[in-house]
Structure formats: structure tokens, C-alpha cells
Structure 1
Amino acid sequence: MAKRFGRRKGNFNDRSNQKPEYRVNEHIRVPEVRLVGDNLEDISTAIGQTLEPGTVYPTRTARDWARKAELDLVEISPNAKPPVVKIIDFNKFLYEKKKKEKEIKAKAAKTVVKEIRFGPNTDDHDFEFKLRHAKGFLEDGAKVKAYVHFRGRTIVFKERGELLLLKFIKELEEYGAAEALPKMEGRRMIVMISPKKKKKN
């Protein structure tokens, strides 16, 4: 029994609302195309003719087959000679492509960076308070950008600021590691601490 392809609403040639990223149906104007796809067996059954993957066919003929199967002729490799096409549901193809791009974006999620600010005269209580916050950030997988801000004449206390940041790095050894030693950027001495990768069970 021939596989039935669902009928799509709208005119076969009406693709004006789609982005011109791919040439489709009547917009494919080359004389010949190379037909590929893992659905050619189903399409062969639907049109009553055996289609061989990778074979070159006249474009008009391939377009007729797509119309019979109630699908679209879509050019996927325009620079090939001849161009490579598939007979597929173009709307479904675009949906799957968009879905895949979303998944890739989600996997490459941006790293969160949390800032912790010190003064060169930060006392022990304030230091411990900020240290607890930093531990929480690193455990959550965020990076910590710690810096000592030197206002006015406090710029003469650079060494004090450096010692404070080095102590901060040491206290966080179990949670993260500094990407580099503290360095001056304008009136700030900065260090970036990356979270340690959690061991997989």
C-alpha cells in the first residue's frame, strides 16, 4: 500500500512568505538536479516510479514528482554541479532546522559572570561575607570576577589589594581556580576565577 503524504494548505508555488535561504519548486531554474534523500523509497511508492538516490534528473521532472507526492522540491546544495535537491515538506524542514539551531544555542549557553568588589581596606567580616557569596556562585557554575577598587589616594595600597585577592583565591581553591594572577586595569586590580568542573558519578 502506497504511503500517504498529508496534503498541505496553500498553493504549491506560493513560497513568498519564506526566507530566500533556499530555492524551492518553481524558483529552481537550472535544467538538471541531483536528487538525494532518505525518503526516496516512500516517494517512489507514492508516484509509482523508482527513484535512485544521487541520480541526476531533469528539474521539471523532479518538480512534477514533488507535486505528485504533495511535497516540495528543495535545493540544499546550490553550488554543486548540478545542484543537489531533496523532495521534502519544506515547512517541516524549516521547523526542524530552527529546532536544531535552538538546541545548539541552548548547549552553548553563555557563562554567567558574578562580580565581587573589595576596597583595599576591606575588614575580615566583609571579606568572609563576600567569600561565602563567591563559593555559592562557583558552586552554581558561574565565574567570579573579583576586584579591588582603588579610590583617590588608596592607589598607593596596590600591594595590600594584591594580597587580599591572593588570599581570596586561596580560600576558594576547592571551588574554583584563578585564570591568571591579579592584574591592574585602570584603578582596579582584577582576578577572574572559574568554577571547578564537577566530577561525574
Structure 2
Amino acid sequence: MINGQIRDKEVRVIGEDGEQLGVMAARDAMKLAAEAELDLVKIAPKAQPPVCKIIDYGKYKYELARKEKEAKKKQKTVELKEVRLSPNIDTNDLNTKINNAKKFIGKGNKVKVTLRFRGREMAHVHQSRHILDDFAEQLADVATIEKPAKMEGRSMSMVLTEKR
């Protein structure tokens, strides 16, 4: 809330250079702001009495937007990478997939390991579970299982995350 939008009878006022001007009537505070050719901005509406500051509102909004943008820049988004396997995968192929998963986890991403079944492979689902278990065991030094292996249609999948 700024200037005329402030409807409180009394407000605690902070000057443009940060000094406390004390508790006064909202009208007097608005007069002070008008004399300085600045805006009276309500900063802490929940306080008793509400806290208002005499500042340039446009500059204040710009600073807030800049701080928000800076905070957003420092955030890291975690992606979900997928590694697909088949029940009759060879050991060298499995090692390659494990190395890829290590790279993904090293970069801070989650890895979804999917074991896809086709045709008659669906008859031997229970025998293929050890592939996912071995995969997780190989990555035990860098990753933990977030979601254990679970059947979803024609595929079995689990999610691995970076070890903390």
C-alpha cells in the first residue's frame, strides 16, 4: 500500500535514510513524504502500529524485482533423466548405462531406471528384477533409491537420487 491507500490512523514512520521518525498520524506522515517528493509505503502491515517508510516507490519495486531475480538465478532445478534397459542386456551395455547414470547423478539430477519388457519377456518379469537391483547396487556409493522398483504397465522402474 502506498500514499492514499494507507487507511490506518497511526503509523510508525521510518525516514528516507533509515532513521526512526516515531509513531505519528498517517496524514502527518503523508505530508512528510510529500515534502520530500517521495512516497509513503507500508512495509510491515501486520505490526502494531503498521510500519511505513518514506521512499521512492518505483525504485523500491525495482530493487525487490532485482533481488527476486537474483534469488531465482541461484536456484538449481533438478531434472529427471531416464536410463532404459531391457531384460536381456549384456554386462558391458549395463556398465555403459551405469556410467551414464553416474554422470547424471554427479550433475545433481535424479535418474529413472526403466526396464522395458516386450512380447514374451512379460512372462519372465520376476526373473528380471535382479537387473534393477544390480544397477542400484553398482551405484550405491553415489546414489540412493528414492522410489523402489515397481511395475507400471510393460515396464518396471525405480528412481535414484544423489546420496546426501
Calculate the TM-score normalised by the size of structure 2: 0.84
Q: Is residue 13 of structure 2 the alignment partner of residue 24 of structure 1?
A: no
Q: Deviations 1:18-62 (Å, cap 9, x if unpaired)? A: xxxxx2122324443222468343xxxxxxxxx53xx32122211
Q: Could you tell me how far apart the structure 1 residues matched to 2:107 and 2:141 are? A: 14
1:143 alignment partner in structure 2: 110
Amino acid corresponding to residue 60 of structure 2 in structure 1: F
Q: Is residue 94 of structure 2 the alignment partner of residue 127 of structure 1?
A: yes
Q: Is residue 26 of structure 2 the alignment partner of residue 59 of structure 1?
A: yes
1:86 alignment partner in structure 2: 53
Q: Could you tell me how far apart the structure 2 residues matched to 1:70 and 1:37 are? A: 13
Q: Is residue 91 of structure 2 the alignment partner of residue 113 of structure 1?
A: no
2:144 alignment partner in structure 1: 177
Q: Could you tell me how far apart the structure 2 residues matched to 1:125 and 1:28 are? A: 71
Structure 1: runs of 5+ lacking an equivalent: 1-22, 42-50
Q: Could you tell me how far apart the structure 2 residues matched to 1:62 and 1:178 are? A: 59
Amino acid corresponding to residue 50 of structure 2 in structure 1: P
Structure number with the higher strand fraction is 2
Structure 2: runs of 5+ lacking an equivalent: none
Q: CA RMSD in A?
A: 2.3
Distance 1:38 1:188, change over 3 A: farther
Q: Could you tell me how far apart the structure 2 residues matched to 1:85 and 1:65 are? A: 12
SS, match of residue 89 in structure 2: coil
Q: Is contact 1:161-1:189 (8 Å) kept?
A: no
Distance 1:100 1:166, change over 3 A: same
Q: 1:95 aligns with which of 59, 62, 65?
A: 62
Instruction: Count how many residue pairs are aligned between Structure 1 and Structure 2.
Output: 164
1:167 alignment partner in structure 2: 134
Q: Is contact 2:16-2:53 (8 Å) kept?
A: no
Q: Is contact 2:16-2:54 (8 Å) kept?
A: no
Q: Is contact 1:35-1:57 (8 Å) kept?
A: yes
Q: Is contact 1:31-1:59 (8 Å) kept?
A: yes
Identical pairs, percent: 41
